[in-house]
Structure 1
């Protein structure tokens, strides 16, 4: 599975605290799952791997297995709750574990409240375009 590339930044982020804005779990981008992610998430859901794949994933043109979204206008991840928490946080996909310290999309500073705080920037009063990590 493809892992998003690292993005170079003009500042170092040594400490990151998630502000639970949920923006990393919405919008454009896909959450590509590793085979281990699929096995772990399927077990958590109490489903056989094939049943989990059929219910919670789709296959991208490059062959990557990706999580479905909720079908809402913001394309929220299937595991994002209304409180902006992750239903599978303790076993979340590898791609999600890496955000934002190992990789981040080019617009992460615009959408992520935690990165904005780490950079000393205020959270925008106007809601920015949400974008999922991937």
Structure 2
């Protein structure tokens, strides 16, 4: 089933709104970090993944973050992005336990090193959030 965005809102505007809802401050830091080296790439990031894909109604943001966390962990070479999306998962309602389960599931399909690295990244994100008083549900 094909989904079409029907809002008069531009892809860029929709992307900015989605990024804020999903990634909050962490997402803004990624966009800001690109401004001096690749400002067009920052725009592409806002328009395509967030304005087009994340904004589709067929999956919830929670479900999209489960898929994203799994994919990034399985890649095994995207730890900074994985940490951003673990944070995003917590922002959209995933619990720490659910995130750990997703990462453990990756041991079956991506191997123990990918799962261990993912769990290590999650542990760092959880500890940082705990230290900021943002621990959320387990």
After TM superposition, the score normalised by the length of structure 1 is: 0.31
Which structure shows the higher strand fraction?
Answer: 1
Higher relative contact order (CA 8 A, sep 6+): 1
After TM superposition, the score normalised by the length of structure 2 is: 0.31
Which structure shows the higher helix fraction?
Answer: 2
